[in-house]
Chain A
């Protein structure tokens, strides 16, 4: 029983995203527990940027993250499978053609 009370008091889980330098995307680096968003950002600084790995941090409470279902991957990504003409390598062009 005491464990259940503990579970209830557990600080929520946050997913952490870090921009390693200006001009690059934020990238998921892991997760951590914190009581609120401000604490999550401060903890993320201490846990994930001790060696200047970041210039910007995003945190989002894990429960708000929606994800695709891996068991449906086959049908989910199937539409892209037979459209190789979306890639530039699909086209047969003469070798003497330059800058294209």
Chain B
């Protein structure tokens, strides 16, 4: 087959919704786009463990502690599913880590905000995981097989993350005045960063068009953002909390909520590394990697020793 016919064959598969698998021919840019997106997603899961890890030892009850621990463990698992999906595209795990540690690869900006109170665990589960689910459900049908399969697994596990967060918010909002205030404060701080999670608006999203054509993405950033706002506003009513957006209003004609202007300057500023916790998060990851070096080496040495011993026994 010529390159041209390879490409035609690839396009035909996309048209027929046939998944692309690791050893199938694919355009270089498709491969690169996927590596960028999947690795960014994997890094987000791993860095996303840090803000919540902050509260494991300070959870208000054993139940909350066990739940938070399980959630953070899931995030480690999700990172690993995604790294292994990225590796099927021909990049090594060490290269992926290296890209994170050198700042070459990005992760979701939301994790560059601090977790100041226990209510933040509620707001993160409800809003951040809620937004993530909105993004991830369509990815279960993304065109690249290993990514789609990883996402099916992730989505199955993610639902409890959002529910436990909402439960925390519900408990606080039905609690004392101080607790309710704490919940409202968390919502105030996490709302805008959460709706920024869907990425830049469609008219300023350089990768969206190609990703839609390749069926990597199934909905645009703005479509998903709108969907998230529409469902979340209703959920806030159950909590009796106020979404911190004075322009939020039901638009009968559109059948959607209108919302206020998003501070994209803040978004790009955090993406560029100037958020409240960018340095801290990256340092924590680098330190974990460096401090783990002796464990990786020791495990290698032990495996080597056992292999030799087995060979000697066989001889």
Scan B201-216; emit 1 where CB is below 8 A from any A CB, else 0: 0000000000000000
Number of interface residues of A (CB under 8 A): 24
Does A60 touch B at the CB level, under 8 Å? no
Beyond A7-B94, A70-B24, whether A30 also contacts B77 by CB under 8 A is: no
Which residues of B79-114 are within 8 A (CB) of A? Answer: 80-81, 84-85, 87, 92-95, 98
Task: Find out whether the CB atom of A30 lies under 8 angstroms from the CB atom of B73.
Answer: no
> Contacts A6-B98, A71-B1, A71-B25; is A11 near B300 (CB within 8 Å)?
yes
Indicate which residue in A10, A30, A35 contacts B84 across the interface (CB closer than 8 Å): A30
Chain A residues, Cβ within 8 Å of B25: 70-71
Contacts of B303 in A (CB 8 A): 35-36, 39
Question: Whole-angstrom distance from the CB of A42 to the nearest CB of chain B?
Answer: 11
Q: Are A31 and B87 in contact (CB under 8 A)?
A: yes
Residues of B within 8 A of A32 (CB): 80, 84
How many inter-chain contacts with C-beta < 8 Å in the A-B complex? 65
Does B157 belong to the interface (CB within 8 Å)? yes
* Cα of A46 to Cα of B75 in the assembled complex, Å: 12
Nearest CB of A to B305, in Å: 10
B66 at interface, CB cutoff 8 A: no
CA distance A30 to B38 in the complex (A): 15
**With contacts A7-B92, A50-B73 known, is A70 near B300, CB below 8 A?**
no
A interface residues (Cβ-Cβ under 8 A, vs B): 3, 6-7, 9-11, 13, 29-33, 35-36, 39, 46-48, 50-51, 67, 69-71
Residues of B within 8 A of A (CB): 1, 21, 23-25, 70, 73-74, 77, 80-81, 84-85, 87, 92-95, 98, 146, 149-150, 153, 157, 296-297, 299-300, 302-303, 306-307
